[in-house]
Amino acid sequence: MTNDISQGLNCPVPMNDYPTIVLAHGGGGKLTHQLIERVFKKHFSNPDLDLMHDGAMVSVDAGRIAMSTDSYVVSPIIFPGGNIGELAVNGTVNDIAMCGARPKYLSASFIIEEGLSMAELETIVASMALSAKKAGVSIVTGDTKVVPRGKADKVFITTSGVGMIPEGRLIHPSRIKAGDTIIISGTIGDHGMAVMSVREGLEFESEIRSDTCALNGLVEEMYRVSPDIHFLRDPTRGGVASTMNEIAASAHKGIRLFEKSIPANENVRSACEILGFDPLYVANEGKLIAIVSSSDAAKVLSAMKKHPAGTESAIIGVVTDDHPSVVVLQTAIGGERVVDMISGEQLPRIC
Amino acid sequence: MKYLDEFRDPIFAKSLSENIHKVTTRPWTIMEICGGQTHSIVKSGLENLLPSSLSIVHGPGCPVCVTPLEMIEKAILIARKPNVIFTSFGDMLRVPGSTSDLLTVKANGGDVRIVYSPLDAVTIAEKNPDKEVVFFAVGFETTAPANAMAVWQAHKKNLKNFSILCSHVLVPPAMEALLSSSTNRVQGFLAAGHVCTVMGYEEYIPLAKKYNVPIVVTGFEPTDILHGILMLVTQLEEGRCELENQYSRMVKKEGNIPAQQMIFNVFEISHRKWRGIGEIPKSGYSLKKEFIHFDAEEKFSLGIVSVEESPLCIAGNILRGLNKPFECSAFGNQCTPESPLGAPMVSSEGACAAYYNYKRQNVASSGSGMVNKKH
């Protein structure tokens, strides 16, 4: 039996159906194209992406745009309530929405460690597509690199995005005034504790689920009832405490929070209690903090509660001219304390 | 949260606070022993529910804070060894040794892992028979039963690759050291509830008698602490010096006998050096002779390691209740949680870190009601 050399050497093993990512998937050759076709284009397909040009050429309305980028390195990549893909889409959508903008287009860049199973990658890509659809954004350009085993942790995803800021919206720390009301869109600490709970060595009886979700729909509802929102932030890494400190410092205002008004799920509070964490410092991926004038607070709160992403919204504090740049918590027990930024990671307490 | 929210009830707290105000007629200096209580006091802002004549000083009950620098240095030396998996509770990783800390050892390639139970370290040893697995066994009587159990399990499983770096300390000898010091100004103690859950409170009765000092075994929730303070101040005002148990839902006079048995299966009482205080006789646990092969100091033949404390750090005075963190010249400038000079700035239970995190800014003088009392 002779091989027809003109058609290339035939290997008895079919080379194109790898169950895992191999280095060659990032080589720019046939396997790369196959990966793009069979995984990325299959799920992300849209006219702008399908051109497969070096960059996306898209139309935008006249006016100001908001732009943001974020990298996602969460471990484990799939956790209760979500996965790294959903996080990557929702996170950037939310960062744009916090500028008062309507997110439109995303890019997605993957750094994949060889050995990641194709099934896991597809799960992640499929949920990115679903999250993008839910948020009303298109993934219009992307990139894939594969690195040797041990040089990354399964998959790292970077998403960037742009959105249009409708006329009349202005989010800026200088707009934060003494007397303004601080609203949160729901329970705190769910994402951080969901991820903690599946890290090695921790098992809780009841599942804690990540709160990852897109907030642009909620923001639109809020703007519908009040075109004059002063400030928006999503309290992700470092939690509510760190975000409030950043806001206090950038606005040079004092912030007073009311501990008993800050919503937190029972299972999150219990898990934090066991590990010695403070839920105020635990990450959220589907919550926003809004600062509005006290006269707008009631209608904004009521609009938020009607939106699925904000049913448990609550007023948690006020802005003050006292103690500029400092966040003070009125404790549930009736005391007071300063809430500082966290230094380093929250480490479990000894006893 | 069931069984916790009840003990954080603001109405109950208010009535306890009012009662404390009612019974307090004179200035008193009282000490909470345990770092968990320090954390709770500062985190819930309890001090502004108390009369200004009460001075609350924070005791030496944070295991991270009292672990001597030499031990941290030994931990770092072991963790740097190539064939070692070094396991520890989370807060110990950030405690600075003389030139490094365990987190830096980890960043430089050392296999340093946080565990939530010493038994997890035993499991790691079982799964990695070709590695030496070391657990940093620190803490008071509270963590001793679990640490003893880890050694006991390793013994039962005949594990040759498991050992502990043991730095166990005991509360009553430290209280005695404070009380017998000529500089002592503590007039009453809140004893550590969870230490007494394990050990009971019999050993505190003679202390109260000998030094004429009231001691109240106290829990950790805000209303526990307020209740403990109320009981303590009532004794002081009435001139009584007794042992009382506020934390009766957890603490029995005899303690937890099986836990004590496990401790004494494995450990014996020994002299221990306390960071900031020095050596206190019979103030800790060491492994018994028959378990000495589980002692990492022996296994790795570390010998004597000597290190110098920062001359700026007044951790010793803080731990003995002689100074408040604010009174240290390095507090908040040369010494912060990001770059701590001394251990009390590291753990969230350390007095310096608790003050830095929760009370640093003297907000209240601006009229918000939060007062950093200078006692």
Residue B255: left (phi > 0), alpha (psi -120 to 50), or beta? left
Class in CATH terms, B1-48+55-325: alpha beta
- Residue B360: the pLDDT is 59
SS3 percent helix, strand, coil of chain A, rounded to 5, is 35, 25, 40
Q: Three-class SS of residue A15? A: coil
CA distance A88 to A81: 14
Encode pLDDT of B203-256 as tens digits.
999 999 999 999 999 999 999 999 999 999 999 999 999 999 999 999 999 999
Separation CA A68–CA A90 (nearest Å): 12
A173 compared with B90, residue with greater pLDDT = A173
CA dist B348 and B339 (Å) reads 14
Pairing outcome for strands B84-88 and B111-114: parallel
ipTM: 0.80
pLDDT at B353: 84
Residue B62 CA to residue B321 CA, distance in Å, equals: 13
Output the pLDDT for position B278.
87
Does A332 sit within 8 Å of B361, measured CB to CB?
no
* Residue ranges of chain A that CATH labels 3.30.1330.10: 23-165
**pLDDT surpassing 50 at residue B354:** yes
Asked whether A317 and A184 are in contact (CB, 8 A), the reply is: no
The structural domains of chain B, with segments of one domain joined by +, span 1-48+55-325
Alpha-carbon distance A223 to nearest alpha carbon in chain B (angstroms): 33
Condensed to tens digits (0 to 9), the pLDDT of residues B98-140 reads: 888 999 999 999 999 999 899 999 999 999 999 999 999 999 9
| Residue in A with minimal Cα distance to B364 | A323
Contact A266 B1 (CB under 8 A): yes
How many residues are there in chain B?
Answer: 375
Residue A117 DSSP symbol? B
Please give the CATH superfamily to which domain A173-339 belongs.
Answer: PurM-like C-terminal domain (3.90.650.10)
* Nearest chain A Cα distance for residue B200, angstroms: 17
**b/e string for B246-256 if b means 16 or more Cβ within 10 A?**
bbeeebeeebb
CB contact under 8 A, A334 and B338: no
Integer Cα distance of B193 and B342 in angstroms:
26
pLDDT by residue, tens only, chain A of 351 residues: 444 444 445 555 555 678 999 999 998 888 999 999 999 999 999 999 999 899 999 988 889 999 999 999 999 999 999 999 999 999 999 999 999 999 999 999 999 999 999 999 999 999 999 999 999 999 999 999 999 999 999 999 999 999 999 999 999 999 999 999 999 999 999 999 999 888 755 677 778 999 999 999 999 999 999 999 999 999 999 999 999 999 999 999 999 999 999 999 999 999 898 888 899 999 999 999 999 999 999 999 999 999 999 999 999 999 999 999 999 999 999 899 999 887 666 666 655
CB of A47 within 8 Å of any CB in chain B?
no
Confidence (pLDDT) at B359: 66
Tokens of A331: 């404790």
- Please, which pLDDT band fits residue B294 given cuts at 50, 70 and 90? very high
Contact of B101 with B338, CB cutoff 8 Å: no
Give the pLDDT score at A200.
57
Do A351 and B140 make contact, defined as CB atoms within 8 angstroms?
yes
pLDDT of residue A15: 54
Return the top range by mean pLDDT from B152-161, B301-310, B325-334, B356-365.
Answer: B152-161
**B36 Cβ under 8 Å from any chain A Cβ:** yes
Averaged pLDDT, B26-30: 96
With CB atoms and an 8 Å threshold, state whether A333 touches B116. Answer: no
CATH-assigned architecture of domain A23-165: 2-Layer Sandwich (3.30)
Q: Residue B91: which of A256, A332, A350 has the nearest Cβ?
A: A350
Q: Which of residues 340-359 of B touch A (CB under 8 A)?
A: 347-349, 356-359
| Per-residue tokens: B326 | 């604010």
Helix, coil or strand: residue A14 = coil
Kindly tell me if the per-residue pLDDT of B365 is higher than 50: no
Q: CA of B361: which chain A residue's CA is closest?
A: A338
Task: Flag if A333 and B10 touch (Cβ within 8 Å).
Answer: yes
For residue range B133-183, what is the model confidence (pLDDT) as tens digits? 999 999 999 999 999 999 999 999 999 999 999 999 999 999 999 999 898
CA A270 to chain B, closest CA, distance in angstroms equals 7
**Which ranges in chain A are annotated with CATH 3.90.650.10?**
173-339
How many Å lie between the alpha carbon of A192 and the closest alpha carbon of chain B? 17
